[in-house]
Every structure is written in C-alpha cells, then in structure tokens.
Homo-oligomer: A and B are copies of this chain.
Amino acid sequence: MATQNWKERAAAKKRQQQESIPKEWVLTNLPDKSQLDVSEFPRTCGLLTGREIEITESYVDVILDNLAKGSWTAVEVTTAFSKRAIVAHQLVNCLTEIFIERALARAGELDDHFRRTGSVVGPLHGLPVSLKDQICIKGIESTMGYVAWIGKPVTKNAVLTDILESLGAVLYVKTNVPQTLMFPETYNHIFGRTLNPFNRSLTSGGSSGGEGALIGLKGSPLGVGSDIGGSVRIPSAFNALYGLRPSFHRIPYAGCVNSLDGQISIYSVLGPMTTSMNGIKAFMKSVLSKEPWQYDPLCVRKRWNEDEYRLLDYNGGKQLCFAVLWDDNVTMPHPPVLRGLEMTKQALLRAGHKVIDWKPLYHPELYEFVPKIWGAVGDADYEVATKLSGEPIIRKMALVEGNLDTPVEDTIHRFPPLNLTAFEYWQINVTHRELRQAYLDHWRETAAVTGTGRPADAIISPAAPYVAPPHGGNWNAQYTTVWNTLDYPACVVPVGARVDPILDVKKPRDSFYGDGDRRNWDSYDPETFKNAPITVQVVGRTLEEEALVGISEIVDQALQTYKSKL
C-alpha cells in the first residue's frame, strides 16, 4: 500500500492544512507571484487592524510589558499574530500545523487568570511562540515533512513545550522544514517550499526556514528552531532576524522528533529566533528559570547567570576586543557579507572596542570532519522514514524550470555514504576532540595579541559566504557548521542593511582557494541577491550563553548607534 499513494497522502495533508486556516483570513488580494519583495504586504493587506499592526511590529519586551500591565490581552495579541502568520503563510508558505482555535482558548484562559489574580502566570504570559515542526505538542502532528508520519498526532509534549506553556507562552503554529532536516533550505513533499519574504526568488534558508520566513514577516514575535549545522542561524541571517545557537544541552531537546537520532558527536540544539536581542534574552532566561535539567536528562545543570550576562568576566563589557573572521581561506564571502563585517568593525571601533583579525585554524579539517558524521550511516536513517511511504529521499533543492514545487531528481548523495563500523566512527570522534582542543588553545592564546589581558572576547564571523541565495543555491553551510562542530554558541545579529547594487559591486579576483570558492564568486551578482538582508554572527565559547547574549547586545547597540550617525 505504501509506495503507490505517497503523493496522494501528501496532497490530502496539504488540503487539511488549508482547511485549518480561518476562512475569513484567506486573502484574495495576494500579490502576484512576480512580486519578489512581500515584506511590507502584511501591514497593507487590510486584514490587520492598526492596533494589530502595532502589536505585531513590537519587540518581545514591549509585548510582554503590555501584557503584564494589562494594556493588551493575550487574546488580542494571539489574534494579531495569528492573522499575520496566516498572511505570511499565504505569501511564503512557512507553516505546517495551524491550531489557532486552540491558541485562542489558551489565551482566553490566560486573560481569565490575569483578570482574576491581577498577575501573569509566568514571564512569557500571553506571548505567541511559533515552533519548528519537530518540537512536539500533544495532540498535534510532527511529520517533519515525512509522508509516513502523517496522521499520527503525538501523545506527549516535548519538554520545551511544557516549559513554554508553564511560562505563559501561547502556541499557535508550527513551521516548515526540509525533508530529513539536513538541508539549509526548506522543502518537503508534504508542505512544499518556503520562500524568502524579502525576495521570493531567494531561499528562506533552513532547516528552520519556516520560522525564518514567518518571523521575517512578523507573523511571530519569537520562534524556536533547531540547529545542527546552522539551521537556526542561516534562516535568521537570510530573514534579518536575531537567532541564537546555544551550546549542546543548554535548552532541553527531550521529546522532539529528529533526524540522525542516536548520532551524538554533533548534537542538534534548540534555539530562539526573534526580532530583537531582548527576545533572545527573554527566551534563554525564562526557559532556564524552569530548571530544564529536572526534565531532560541531557540538559546541563546551570542556571541563567546574571553576573555572566553582565560580563563581569569581560571587563563589564567595556573596551572589549573582537576578532573578525573575514574569510575562512576556503570560500571568500560575497561583497555584501564583507560589507556587513566592515560595518560591524567600524561600529565597534566607534563604540570604544578593539578589533583584530581572527585567524581561522584547521577550518578545512573541521569541514572535512562534518560530512563524515552526516555520512557515517549512509542513507540508513532517512530510509527508515521514507521507505514506509515510498516517497523518494530528496537530495537537491534546485528548481526544475523555475517550478518551486519540484526538486531536481538527483542520485548524488550530499554526504558521501561511508557506512562506517563503530570502531571507525570512534576514530572520527577522536579527531573531533583533537580539533576542538586545538581551536580552544588557539583562542586562549589570542590573549597575547588583544592587549586586554584576555583572549578575544568574541569572534565576528559571516553567517554564510553569501546573503540569502536563489532556491537550490545554498550549498555551503561551513561558516555556521564550524561552530556546531566546536560547540561554540553563536548569535546572528542583523547589521540593518540590505544588498545594494551600488555598494555591493562585484570586484574581479585573480586567484581562488579552489573550485568551490571560484563557483561561489562566479555566482555573485548584486541583482540576483537584491534586497537580501545582511547580518553577522557573534561567536562565543562553549556554555557561555549568558556572556554571548550580553556581548551580542553590545554589537547590536554599536551597530544601531553607528547607523544612526551615518
């Protein structure tokens, strides 16, 4: 039965999704497909009231403050974001599960509580939070885009779901992912492809691409993605968001569905994606306040440390020394990415910080290590899920004749299947540890050149060697994956600029690091990437989320001050 009907099962699920959208929110005035930048459409489409536009364009701190004061109700905030999420979905196809009725009922209970007691149930009281499809909510499906997983509502909340609800969050939508999760773009056979709201000919990134596009359109104030090689940071970068990849085991992952389950060399982690640094902090601080290690056996027993956030170990945040990774000597970033790094450097210098160059160490070796992990078991993991329904394994995200709905059929494995023995696999783990050791030593030894007495306080890195590329063109996740491999927390911060054909001209290059570098440079043309957001990545050391949030706020503030004075 399985093989013949996977397309029908996928189509039926997609119809079911369409039916879960409130009828009155189905728009008839959608922009034509040829309109690439749809980022302003939600505020002009007519579905949202002025107040709803105000609510959905507020940062997390303002939303929480208004809810806690009783100025806004949870129902009206939930309604506003639900409407905008549905508008976003019609523009860029970013959602999987939609359960607004349930969300409004929950919001009503929160409002009742507030009216009855005059107080909030927790620090996220009434805040709508969107979740990547793999984060389980009892009674709702987590297909992860696999046809075989349709029709199986999960029976138990993920630990993070329980925690978010206990903090007062309102869950209302889940968001799209690529089949297998192991792509930095977002397409699967059930829900199709998610587009970039700033230029729909570009990818929203992945694997948390549904979150990226949704929050990019302000259809959610705060979402949760997962990141094993950049899956929080790439869509954050491509959609002008703030996105944090925490260290392994800081945020509870227990109870989520996943790919490559049992692979424990490079763990996937959950992290927040949002429109401000205060959203990142609110998520981290409030989730950790619930002591997730009581519920997830892998979680690190470490409370949010306010002293670390206030940078007591980093001169109180004054006169820091940043190290800029301009180029990994493998793939030179495109001009807009380099401009973002330069803007950040200038902003930090003006704010009184020091900036040095970061020398990449063993990046080729780290890049070589990663596909050995992803390819260690060949297709074995993906086959478990796909064979049940007969759907093929998607191996490429490129378009066929511009058709967004059909991936190129391809037999080439993205990660060469190694089918390793356990002993061979262990030897890769040894290399991994040696590389982590060398990189940590390298970082510590920068104390000799910073002039602060400390090692570099953070690395400023590209999030990718390009801004959001055309669909099928996101071939290189090395600028994010390298930090997963080292287990360094990393936060994407928008520089507040978009690709500008005048500023971001292509310059000729005489020599290249290799074929990939040449191909990447060849692919650059400012028109192709027009309007794509520019961001940087701020990188800290393992398990210093608090300090990284504090330092990223400094970077963000420096950039805002710098731009305001240009």
A residues in contact (CB < 8 Å) with B: 254, 260-265, 293-298, 300-302, 376-378, 380-381, 418-430, 433, 436-437, 439-441, 444, 486-487, 541-544
Contacts and interface: CB of A to CB of B under 8 A. Distances in A.
A77 to B, nearest CB: 33
B423 A421 contact: no
B487 A297 contact: yes
Contacts of A293: 541-543
Nearest to A308: B301
Contacts of A295: 440-441, 444
Contact of A421 (B296, B419, B426, B441): B419
A301 B300 CA distance: 10
B300 A423 contact: no
Contacts of A302: 300-302, 543
B294 A444 contact: yes
Nearest to A372: B422
Contacts of A261: 426, 430
Nearest to A419: B421
Given A298-B433, A302-B302, A418-B422, 11 more contacts: A254-B433, A262-B429, A262-B433, A264-B426, A293-B543, A295-B444, A297-B440, A301-B302, A301-B541, A301-B544, A377-B422
Contacts of A486: 297
24 contacts: A254-B437, A262-B425, A262-B426, A262-B428, A263-B426, A264-B426, A293-B541, A293-B542, A294-B440, A295-B444, A296-B440, A297-B436, A297-B542, A298-B433, A300-B302, A301-B542, A301-B544, A376-B422, A376-B423, A377-B421, A378-B423, A419-B423, A422-B424, A422-B425
Nearest to A444: B294
A433 B297 contact: yes
B300 A543 contact: yes
Contact of A377 (B265, B294, B426): B426
- Lowest 8 CB-CB distances: which A-B pairs, in order? A262-B426, A297-B436, A377-B423, A301-B543, A262-B429, A380-B423, A262-B430, A422-B425
A346 B212 CA distance: 60
B297 A437 contact: yes
Contacts of A265: 264
A376 B425 CA distance: 11
A526 to B, nearest CB: 40
A260 to B, nearest CB: 7
A433 to B, nearest CB: 7
A423 B260 CA distance: 9
Contact of A298 (B263, B425, B436): B436
Contacts of A381: 423, 426
Contacts of A544: 301
A537 to B, nearest CB: 20
Most B CB atoms within 10 A — which of A264, A294, A426?
Answer: A426
Of listed A260, A378, A419, A437, residue having the most chain B CB within 10 A: A437
A405 to B, nearest CB: 32
A425 B433 CA distance: 19
Contact of A425 (B297, B425, B430): B425
A199 to B, nearest CB: 39
Contacts of A254: 433, 437
Nearest to A263: B426
A429 B258 CA distance: 14
A419 B423 CA distance: 8
B543 A429 contact: no
A421 B300 CA distance: 29
A543 B293 CA distance: 9
Nearest to A545: B301
A433 B255 CA distance: 11
Interface-central residue, A424, A425, A444, by most chain B CB under 10 Å: A425
Contact of A262 (B427, B437, B543): B427
